[in-house]
Structure 1
Amino acid sequence: MSAGAPAVVPVKDNEPIVLCMEDIKAIADSKLPEVARDFYNSGSTYQTTIAENRSAFYKYRLRSRVLVDVSELSTQTTCLGRTIRFPLCISPAGLQAMAHPDGEVATARACAKIGVNMAISSFSNYPVEEVIRASNGGVNYAMQMYTMKDRSLQERIIKSAEAAGCKAIFLTADSPVLGVRFNEWRNDFRTPEGLGFPVLEWTSEMIRKQTHDSGFTAFNDDSHNWAREIQWLREKTKMEIWIKGIVTAEDTELAIKYGCDGILVSNHGGRQLDGVPATIDALVECVDAAQGRIPIHMDGGVRKGTDIFIALALGAENVWVGRPAIWALAYDGQRGVEKMLEMLYEDFRRCMALCGCNSVAEIKRSCLSRIGLDGVLRRME
């Protein structure tokens, strides 16, 4: 198929027409109970960062090119040791079975069908082994985890993930405490009855006795630090060690200093400290600090294929999405996630073609323009 192949336009019937992420989210919001919808969609305190994760993309303009032969265009890239269809993967979002009973298993199957990777949350409703089996070898996985007071449990999680075939640990490092999430407090949010967290070895009965906040505080270790955590992980596993939650040059330098294998620029979907930079803005600072010494990925606010293109142009090697997968699950389970991924793929491929890029490696800052303080639109360098 050529890069400019026409999009498939659905024939009107009783089914809702789904053409973009907003359509998927609207259907998901209509299906989800209010408490679940608020849990998934909300950020911390005044929602500043979660809003800017999206709006920050609007500062950039794409520089389309003409008369470029894009008949052999390829969107492929590599991630976690596997060639993937395009530079997008599924972030470690927890509680997916609250959106659809098949939860992480459905997401894994969709990732395998589309040809992208996935990270598994510590708050997965399915065991790591079951999630990985669902993709039948078609996905490379990362295991997301926090620093834990119970080191024996943390080590069991690591060993189980490695034995099941995970390629990397995504250490979520931005959460010594949880962010202030007003909607969860107003709703007294608790995990729905019947859903457990098998990775953490928590049954539904154990979870229902505590709030989301109190449960997190009970197991999370707020005494974590660079020197201790990275060394301890290196002693326990041969998996790659990535740090998730970096938004500054200083922490990028520390990740390099302590020998991490990569970083995921992320502000936790705007759910931790409200007022931190949008991830697309933080990405530039981190990329400039790294100077190619460490792989840099990002998540946060990505809703279109053009967003993926902008992130790559600014220096990310790969992009991850969390909420879109949740919305897609609520919309239509595995088929919903496949639909969401296909939409992002087609939009990204089309953007590459119209910007004259035949490969992911050709996507550079010079593909973008930005309006300066003087109001003049200039090409980025």
Structure 2
Amino acid sequence: MALLTLHEYETAARKRLPKPVWDFLSGGSGTESMLSAGRAALDRIRLRPRCLVDVSDCDPGTSVLGANLAAPLGIAPMAYHRLAHPEGELATARAAGEAGVVFTVSMFASHTLEDIAAAATGPLWLQLYWLKRRELLIDLVRRAEAAGYGALVLTVDAPRVARRPRDLRNGFSVPEGVHAVNVDPSVMSASHVGTPGQSAVARHSREQFDAAITWADLAWLRERTSLPLVLKGLLTGEDAELALKHEVDGIIVSNHGGRQLDFAQPAAEALGEIAEVVSGRCPVILDGAIRHGADIAKALCLGADSVSVGRPVLWGLAHSGSVGAAGVLRLLTEEFEEVMALMGAPRVPLFGPAGITRK
């Protein structure tokens, strides 16, 4: 039987994945308050439909940073897709191409950047963490340029990986057979060493992530690539203003899936503030808690240019590989297109502040 909601994909994936893997993919930091806060923020928003509008031809297509998209939707960067399915990022790339959305590949992908590019038929971006060994960072940038990736996404809300209780209880480490194949093995070795009561992923981040970088360091990266630079993890208007001052090309408003700062402002609540500051000067993307096509509409009304979806894509992968991931993306797109018709907004630019209210 076909799966008709993202909740059904989640239920199916949970049955298929080992508990430590499921906990790693779905868990949050601290009290895990942010896992529900992001969803609650979107649920507080209500849509205000307009009637007697010609919606016989709804077009969800848009473009972001030169990438033409079938819908204002993309796949958020997530490490180790092979945890969910043996084909990993290759299956995800095929699904993204079929759906006509952008796929942001994690630097900790479990297939090479080149193999992912070969499997892709749609736009690709590359996500980066700032490593202490900058030569490795630039090697990834060069490879991404050569393979045709269209942008760099620098995650800036993770100077270290936060304390995640589920991973601590499980003594989680990345299983043998799954590796971040694009990064020097010596840099990744700590992530595979399991210790009871510790997270190997958190230990690895403390060893390898450069927690001393500041806004001034962005110039060093910009001087070494012509690719657009997008910052992921901003939650305040102050940081959005600084991002514009430092000439970034895009902003992703994100809570890191509830896996970093506990009790932070949910991304959907921060979006309006950031969109107002940006005022169209660069694309703004909402990342987090997207579980229905109506959430895309809400994000657009709040000022986003598009949204990113994370865990649901992995649920689709776990369920049935590329077919499942494509099914998740197709479901979100079809739901959004229906919302367009029922909202009386047959084109993406028609969504704006007048389209929402709050409970």
Scaled by the length of structure 2, the TM-score of the pair is: 0.96
Q: Deviations over 1:95-151 (max 9, x none)?
A: 11010001111000011111111100011001111111101xx21111100111101
Q: Give how far 1:66 is off.
A: 2.0
Q: Find the aligned partners of 2:333 and 2:283 in 1 and give their Cα distance.
A: 22
Residue type at the aligned position of 1:21 = L
Q: How does 1:189-338 map to 2 (within 5 A)?
A: 189-202=172-185, 207-209=191-193, 211-228=200-217, 230-338=218-326
Q: Find the aligned partners of 1:68 and 1:293 in 2 and give their Cα distance.
A: 30
Residue type at the aligned position of 1:168 = A
Q: Find the aligned partners of 1:355 and 1:335 in 2 and give their Cα distance.
A: 30
Q: Find the aligned partners of 1:293 and 1:117 in 2 and give their Cα distance.
A: 21
Q: Find the aligned partners of 1:179 and 1:215 in 2 and give their Cα distance.
A: 12
Which stretch of structure 1 is more off in the superposition, 348-357 or 73-82?
A: 73-82
Residue type at the aligned position of 1:39 = F
Q: How does 1:359-370 map to 2 (within 5 A)?
A: 359-370=347-358
Q: Give how far 1:278 is off.
A: 1.0
Residue type at the aligned position of 2:214 = N
Which stretch of structure 1 is more off in the superposition, 140-149 or 244-253?
A: 140-149
Q: Find the aligned partners of 2:261 and 2:191 in 1 and give their Cα distance.
A: 25
Q: Find the aligned partners of 2:159 and 2:39 in 1 and give their Cα distance.
A: 25
Q: Find the aligned partners of 1:342 and 1:143 in 2 and give their Cα distance.
A: 23
Residue type at the aligned position of 2:313 = A
Q: Is the 8 A contact 1:283 1:314 kept in 2?
A: yes
Q: Find the aligned partners of 2:357 and 2:325 in 1 and give their Cα distance.
A: 32
Q: Secondary structure at the match of 1:306?
A: helix
Q: Find the aligned partners of 1:218 and 1:164 in 2 and give their Cα distance.
A: 29
Q: Which residue of 2 aligns with 1:144?
A: 127
Q: Find the aligned partners of 2:169 and 2:298 in 1 and give their Cα distance.
A: 37
Residue type at the aligned position of 1:33 = P
Q: Give how far 1:207 is off.
A: 4.1
Q: Is the 8 A contact 1:97 1:125 kept in 2?
A: yes
Q: Give how far 1:294 is off.
A: 2.2
Alignment of 1:51 onto 2:36: yes
Q: Find the aligned partners of 2:283 and 2:85 in 1 and give their Cα distance.
A: 33
Q: Secondary structure at the match of 2:261?
A: coil
Pairing partner for 1:82 from 67, 74, 82: 67
Q: Give how far 1:71 is off.
A: 1.1
Residue type at the aligned position of 2:114 = E
Q: Deviations over 1:309-340 (max 9, x none)?
A: 00011000010011011111111100001110
Q: Which residue of 2 aligns with 1:163?
A: 146
Q: Deviations over 1:157-199 (max 9, x none)?
A: 1111111111111000011111110110110101011111112
Which sections of structure 2, spanning at least 5 residues, go unmatched? 195-199
Scaled by the length of structure 1, the TM-score of the pair is: 0.90
Alignment of 1:124 onto 2:112: no
Q: Deviations over 1:191-236 (max 9, x none)?
A: 01111111212288664236111212221000010012x1111111
Residue type at the aligned position of 1:109 = R
Q: Secondary structure at the match of 1:236?
A: coil
Alignment of 1:61 onto 2:50: no
Pairing partner for 1:353 from 341, 354, 358: 341
Residue type at the aligned position of 2:55 = V
Q: Is the 8 A contact 1:196 1:207 kept in 2?
A: no
Residue type at the aligned position of 1:38 = D
Q: Secondary structure at the match of 1:57?
A: helix
Q: Find the aligned partners of 1:181 and 1:115 in 2 and give their Cα distance.
A: 34
Which stretch of structure 1 is more off in the superposition, 19-28 or 288-297?
A: 288-297
Larger radius of gyration, structure 1 or 2?
1
